[in-house]
Structure 1
Amino acid sequence: MTYLKRKADYYLQEWKNNSDRYPLIIKGARQVGKTETIRRFAKSNYKNIIEINFITEPKYKSIIEEGFAVESIVRLISRIDPTKQFEENETLIFFDEIQDFPEIATALKFFKENGKYDVICSGSLLGVQYHRIASISVGYKTDYQMFSMDFEEFLWAKGYSNKDISDMLVHMLKEKAFTEIEYQVYSNLFLEYCILGGMPNIVSTYIEKGTFEGSLALQRQLNNDYENDIVKYAEGLDKAKILSVYQSIPAQLAKENRKFQYSKVSKGGRAKEYMGCVEWLKNAGLVNVCYCLGFAELPLKGNIDDSKFKVYMADTGILISNLDDESQIDLRANKNMGIYKGALYENFAAEALIKQGYGLYYYKKENSSLEEDFFIRSANELIPIEVKANNNRSKSLGQLINSEKYSDIKHGIKFTTGNIGINNNIITFPYFCIFLLKRYMDKQDIFK
């Protein structure tokens, strides 16, 4: 299967070029492409690659039986497999699926101090085990969060260049509308991406076949794998509760009010019964959580009501695979992304914001229709982000910008199915531009 270029490729090369590099832990959900990315990087940069998978090769869990000194670990690895070659400064040791053997993280300190071998660790559901891993390797590791492919990586896979992407950013910065042809091409590509999601195996199959054949089956199988992982890695009685919360997310997003409600998980369900379940799924990389602001003002992190939140799927393709058959037809045949009352657009926006390093925050004024989907900030401003399935007027956005009550808000950004435009300090972009939001914010003078 064809390897698809990833942003992690650049990160790994920068890590290798740093003479004072630390052992690296790459976190991410199942099948986001961690293993293949690391293997490709390793083949291009090392003479010897020692790959150990703690799920398929549990015998290697014995390599710490004599302690965590590098010499003893290397000796015990070579005892199990004498063909493995360890050459100083020419060898990468790749510990994969370390969620099944988090104890190996203790050795990272010793590998850093020893300095003879580079080490990369990887695994799924690391968020669940990560508190344990972090506490036993603090100060001796570098972390990198890997996600499924974003829209930019999808464009690369479809043959688009960095120049094409730079041109899209220029349109945004100059507030210059796309031509009709440009708009239609990027809109169709965006729809393809949303239907497929960003799992590289699914995208690669689509690129090679040129059709969506088998994509839905692959998505649903992956969703089943996630559910099996929950059963495998969650502890005690929480297994069933966490699984129920995860399975309720599509229905939660289908509601007009998408605030997460435990009563929708089980009849009469309360927060205290499901304590920690959403956090578990977030740490596992399966969902993104959007917290409600107490008031639409800065600072963001210090201004949330953590009892109110929305939960989005980490990959929109997985959410789409949960749609019923009628909705699947409406989406695929009629290109109707507005099904689920716009929840697909919101889910995609949440996913794109997270992949750019933003946190997720929304605002809902009590006893009022005033509600805003997301917020980001510049150096001095709080910027509301509205996600609309149509081009209707943005009443809440206008109210936030014009009211003296919200002094931190001076501009708003709206993503719609329409083209680029600006009106009353509201800047409108097509949905396919959202992956460029951070670069736009960094370069746009009005936000500096």
Structure 2
Amino acid sequence: MVFKRKMYDKLKQWKELSGGSSAVLLEGARRIGKSTIVEEFAKNEYDDYMILDFAKEGKNVKNNFLENMNDLETFFRNLFLLKGRSLKGNHCVIIFDEVQLFPQARQAIKYLVADGRYEYIETGSLISIRKNVTDILIPSEEYRIKMYPMDFEEYLWAMGDNVTFEAMQSAFQHRKPLGDAIHRKIMQKFRTYMVVGGMPQAVNAFVEGKTFAQIDFIKRNILSLYEEDLAKYDTENREKASVIFKKIPEQLENKNSHFRFSLIDKNARYQNYVDAVSFIAEAMIGNECINVTKPEVALELFADRSNFKLYMGDTGLLVTQIMRNREDTEEDLYKALIFDNLGINQGMIMENIVAQMLKAAGHDLYFHEYQYLPEGAIKEQKYEIDFLAVKKKKICPIEVKSSGYTSHKSFDYLGKKYQMKMQDKYIVYTKDLKYQDEIMYIPLYMTMFI
């Protein structure tokens, strides 16, 4: 089934604004639906299209790129002969699928766009990894868009639900609670989304009424695919990316979720693992959240990359990763998670979904830890803000609470310590929306509106 995705409108926008003056490159983790949405877009928006899938194309097609870029008449004649067909119509597109596997095709975009007879869409994962850009000139005629797993709104569309999102959005904008009955109903839908995840294959299985065991089987296969990619990287770089990826659930169970290399190897040091961590983040299968030493608007200037958290790119995959180490049946575990009566650390699942939603909404992920001497205390205490965003050139702190607990000392002392004015302060938790003490308390599912 082809699901409605927000990426479709982004591709439409590119097409209208570009008018053939650039190619578009869609990058994201594997199995998030890039190829599917691109083909659907090509079918609907062009007279004709052709797919070059570089995971499957033979030597002859690749050699055509290497030998004939200075003679595009010959290039197209050979391409159509090799593919056994030409493109019909005035407005056609050629799709370069899995372009990271043949970087020279990406380099050719410069000449193909200038030629102007067709438009070009590229898809790929691991696009910016060193070996995929070595010795090629990255074309300036390339407009890049990042694609993520299905978000909660896309999941609701897949379920045929076109009313829940508007109700949530209206409540958020007007700072009005939805009411207990509605909140509970949406929260249950959101919990189901959290455990199924945003991988289109898993969502499709859920829509078709498959069991949670069958859905989990699909997600295990995706995790295995990611682990194979990481193992290939490890072979070439003698790094530990696969171990780091497998350890994400264990790391998130730490106090404050901080990444501790001692859990991998007692002698491990950041400088020996930095490339492996970057690989996971750049492959978009993990979301890195970096500590900032000072909560200033230009967050990246104060980034301390040696102090970080690492979240799974898709929370549904995190749930499956957790399941691997438990003996209960998938059916029982999934139901327990959905109905909120599971004894595992649900805080890490909630924090992971908040990170995922913030990332999909366009925020880079940062957190801040600081020390402050509260009135009447003898020594400084340590406090932490889970996430920092920037809105209207002001800092916007975000705290995630796994219970209905509503303490906000970390916000109060942050303002006092740095004498700063904050834009909006959010506590993300499991209860209905409320606005109190200049803080927005929002249910998990509203994180996408921050």
TM-score (norm: length of structure 1) = 0.90
Mapped pair 1:374 → 2:387: yes
Mapped pair 1:295 → 2:294: yes
1:127 is paired with a residue whose SS is coil
The equivalent of 1:207 in structure 2 is 207
Q: What is the one-letter code of the residue matched to 1:90?
A: H
* Aligned-pair CA distance for 1:229: 1.3
CA distance in 2, matches of 1:124, 1:64: 21
- Determine if contact 1:316/1:344 at 8 Å carries over to the other structure: yes
Which of 350, 358, 364 in structure 1 is aligned with 2:355? 350
* Aligned-pair CA distance for 1:326: 5.5
The equivalent of 2:95 in structure 1 is 94
* Aligned-pair CA distance for 1:75: 2.2
- Determine if contact 1:289/1:360 at 8 Å carries over to the other structure: yes
Mapped pair 1:172 → 2:172: yes
TM-score (norm: length of structure 2) = 0.90
Would the alpha carbon gap of residues 276 and 193 (structure 1) be closer, same or farther in structure 2, given more than 3 Å must change?
same
- Determine if contact 1:90/1:117 at 8 Å carries over to the other structure: yes
The equivalent of 2:376 in structure 1 is none
Q: What is the one-letter code of the residue matched to 1:8?
A: M
Deviations 1:20-73 (A, max 9, x none): 441111111111001110111111122322111111223322222323243333
- Determine if contact 2:287/2:313 at 8 Å carries over to the other structure: yes
CA distance in 2, matches of 1:164, 1:343: 26
Quote the RMSD (CA, aligned, Å). 2.2
Q: What is the one-letter code of the residue matched to 1:374?
A: F
Mapped pair 1:113 → 2:114: yes
Mapped pair 1:104 → 2:105: yes
Query: Which 5+ residue runs of structure 2 have no aligned equivalent?
Result: 372-379
CA distance in 2, matches of 1:91, 1:411: 46
Would the alpha carbon gap of residues 129 and 52 (structure 1) be closer, same or farther in structure 2, given more than 3 Å must change?
farther
Which of 330, 335, 355 in structure 2 is aligned with 1:332? 335
The equivalent of 2:81 in structure 1 is 79
- Determine if contact 2:427/2:441 at 8 Å carries over to the other structure: yes
CA distance in 2, matches of 1:338, 1:394: 23
Q: Runs ≥4 in structure 1, deviation > 4 angstroms?
A: 326-331
CA distance in 2, matches of 1:14, 1:129: 30
The equivalent of 2:11 in structure 1 is 12
- Aligned residue-pair number: 433
The equivalent of 1:443 in structure 2 is none
Comparing 349-358 and 296-305, the one that deviates more: 296-305
The equivalent of 1:365 in structure 2 is 370
Q: What is the one-letter code of the residue matched to 1:359?
A: D
Deviations 1:92-112 (A, max 9, x none): 111111121111111101111
Would the alpha carbon gap of residues 331 and 203 (structure 1) be closer, same or farther in structure 2, given more than 3 Å must change?
closer
Would the alpha carbon gap of residues 272 and 401 (structure 1) be closer, same or farther in structure 2, given more than 3 Å must change?
closer
Would the alpha carbon gap of residues 221 and 101 (structure 1) be closer, same or farther in structure 2, given more than 3 Å must change?
same
- Determine if contact 2:392/2:423 at 8 Å carries over to the other structure: no
* Aligned-pair CA distance for 1:391: 1.4
- Determine if contact 2:21/2:141 at 8 Å carries over to the other structure: no
Deviations 1:263-303 (A, max 9, x none): 21223211122131111111111111101010233331212
Query: Which 5+ residue runs of structure 1 have no aligned equivalent?
Result: 438-448
Q: What is the one-letter code of the residue matched to 1:421?
A: K
The equivalent of 1:217 in structure 2 is 217
1:65 is paired with a residue whose SS is helix
Q: What is the one-letter code of the residue matched to 2:426?
A: I
* Aligned-pair CA distance for 1:257: 3.2
The equivalent of 2:319 in structure 1 is 320
* Aligned-pair CA distance for 1:135: 5.8
Mapped pair 1:413 → 2:426: yes
* % identical equivalent positions: 27
1:93 is paired with a residue whose SS is strand
The equivalent of 2:146 in structure 1 is 145
1:25 is paired with a residue whose SS is strand
- Determine if contact 1:68/1:106 at 8 Å carries over to the other structure: no
Would the alpha carbon gap of residues 156 and 76 (structure 1) be closer, same or farther in structure 2, given more than 3 Å must change?
same
Which of 359, 383, 386 in structure 1 is aligned with 2:399? 386
* Aligned-pair CA distance for 1:248: 1.5
CA distance in 2, matches of 1:337, 1:131: 43
2:208 is paired with a residue whose SS is helix
CA distance in 1, matches of 2:409, 2:136: 44
Q: What is the one-letter code of the residue matched to 2:183?
A: Y
- Determine if contact 2:8/2:37 at 8 Å carries over to the other structure: yes
* Aligned-pair CA distance for 1:431: 0.6
Q: What is the one-letter code of the residue matched to 1:107?
A: A
Mapped pair 1:232 → 2:232: yes
1:209 is paired with a residue whose SS is coil
